[in-house]
Every structure is written in C-alpha cells, then in structure tokens.
Amino acid sequence: MTASHGNEIMVVSGASTGIGAATARELAARGFHVLAGVRRERDGDAIRGDGVEPVILDLTRPEHVRALADRIASDPRHRPLRALVNNAAISVNAPAEVLPLDEWRRLFDVNLFGHIAITQALLPFLHRSHGRIVNISSVGGKIAMATYGAYAGAKFALEAVSDSLRRELAPHGVQVVVVEPGAVRSEMAGRGAATANDLAAMMNPEQRRRYGGLIEAVVAHSLAFTRNGLPSARAGAVIADAATVRRPRTRYTVGRDAALLTRLARFLPDRVLDRIAAANLRPYLPRQGT
C-alpha cells in the first residue's frame, strides 16, 4: 500500500471519540475514504469531514452491520474495502461475584461478538481486495487485573480469535493484525469508572466490605493510568500504520507501558505478576481509619 489511496475504503468501528476517531482522521489524512462507525447522529456530525463519512453502527444490531455491508457493495465509485479496523469497545470493571451476568454478556457482545459479526459480514469484500483486518485489543488482552475479568476476558478471546483468523486467512491473501494499546487518553476510562461506581453502589453490605476498597483503588488507578497516557492521535497513527504498511507485524503495541507489560506477561511467573499487580494498586487503596 502507498500513502495515498483515495479510491479505497477503510472501515473503523467505534469512531465517535478517542482512539477510533483519531484513527479515522489519520486514515483520511493519508488519502483513504473512511466509513467511521458511530452510534449517534450527533457523534457523526462531530467526526464528519474530508474523507470521513460517518455511518450509524451498533455492532450488536444485525441491521446496522447489514447496512454497512450494503453501503460498501453499493459504493457509487466501486471502491474496494482495503481494511477493517475493529475498534469499538466498552469498559466494565467489577468483581466477578457482583457483576451481573447481563453485564458480562453485554460486554462480550460489544467487545468480541460484535467484531466477529462485522468481520463475517465484510470478509467477502476483503477477499476480493486482499485486504486486512486490524483488531484493537489491549494490554488487558495479556494481563488481567482484579475486577477486569469481563473486559480482559473479551480481549483475551479477541487475541485468540485473531490468531486463528490470521492462520485461516493467510493462504487467501487477507492479513490479520492485532494492536495492543496501553494507557491512552480517551473518554472510555471515565465511562468505565462511572459504571464501576454505579455497580459498587448496588453491592450488599457483605460485598461492600469485601470489595469496596478494591473498586475504589481500581477506579483511581485506571483514571490516573489514562490521564498519564499517550494522546489518542499517537495511537491512531500506530493503528493507521498497522492497516497500511506493506508487510505488517502480527502485533503492535502502543506506548512503552504496553510494550513492557506484554513482555512481562510472557516471561514472569504468575505469582510474580500477582505481586506486581497488587503493588500497582496499593497506593490507591483507601486509608483505613484509626
């Protein structure tokens, strides 16, 4: 691929804000026509611009996925689909004991099954173009912190699906790449913190004694982690590279923290990782009254 492809389409899901919006703008700046998936009309108005065409896309609604496929099939300029960037995600953090099963299902529907649905729908176009799938995972796809069971579980699964898909599609000329961001400044952390606090408020007294301090620490750690992270534009540039370079790696990390943590996950024993995770949370635990 070259730096300018005005006659090719890119699809980016979850493009309302943060990493997805930054990726859509970066790809448009490189000359692609980007179909940017957003959930609301006002989000589309905010991202609409030169080379960025917003499309209403809730991955959990089959009619939205079908409409996107129809949009590509009926493109008036008959432009091929060069890459699909599966970025849409939600964050829900709570101890496994207290997270309602419906919340587990909702998170997996968006963060895993929704990506599979859109991949299935758009693969016929990618076969024709010998295009590429870029799945946005997370450092949470390699290390699962306390209360991250649902989120990390979906990301671990996305990593496995990506490996399997890469091996299925390689003989047919379709490439599959995973991007693993670490701390990136975006709105998702704030939304996840609000959800965690809402769930904490619903705990019974025994659960509150067990997990109240942990949830408080995880929320504070997550917000600080994100606040000190890279700008979304930096992540968008890495993802755009992953979608466009001629010979992509199978995996990219975003940020030094992601590069370090993914390496630690490969080489350190589980108990050592447990101690590191506990030490990272310790400064954020509420002080006990005297």
Local confidence pLDDT in tens for the 290 residues of the chain: 444 466 899 999 999 999 999 999 999 999 999 999 999 999 999 999 999 999 999 999 999 999 999 999 999 999 999 999 999 999 988 999 999 999 999 999 999 999 999 999 999 999 999 999 999 999 999 999 999 999 999 999 999 999 999 999 999 999 999 999 998 987 776 777 788 888 888 899 999 999 999 999 999 998 888 888 899 999 999 999 999 999 999 999 999 999 999 999 999 999 999 999 999 999 999 986 53
Residue 274 lies in a domain: no
Q: Can you state the angle between helices 114-129 and 149-169, rounded to 10 degrees?
A: 20
Contacts 24+ apart (CB under 8 A), 153-159: 153/108, 154/107, 154/108, 154/111, 154/112, 155/111, 157/108, 157/112, 158/111, 158/112, 158/115
pLDDT of residue 173: 98
Report how far apart, in Å, the C-alpha atoms of 158 and of each of 112, 114, 154, 216, 236 are. 6, 11, 6, 28, 19
Predicted structure pTM score: 0.93
pLDDT of residue 288: 67
**How far, in Å, CA of 66 to CA of 118, rounded?**
9
Domain of 18, in residue numbers: 9-187+231-267
Residue 61 lies in a domain: yes
DSSP code per residue over 230-258: B-HHHHHHHHHHHHH-SS--SEEEESHHH
Residue 180 lies in a domain: yes
- For tokens 């809730």, the residue is 58
pLDDT of residue 192: 75
Residue 66 lies in a domain: yes
Residue 45 belongs to a domain with what CATH number?
A: 3.40.50.720
Residue 159 lies in a domain: yes
Residue 222 lies in a domain: no
pLDDT of residue 140: 94
Residue 96 lies in a domain: yes
pLDDT of residue 2: 42
pLDDT of residue 6: 66
Instruction: Given the residues 148, 151, 211, 252, select the one marked as catalytic.
Output: 151
Q: Catalytic site residue 151? A: yes
**How far, in Å, CA of 197 to CA of 217, rounded?**
11
pLDDT of residue 1: 40
DSSP state of 14: S
- Tally of structural domains, the chain: 1
Residue 278 lies in a domain: no
CA 288-289-290 angle, 5° bins: 115
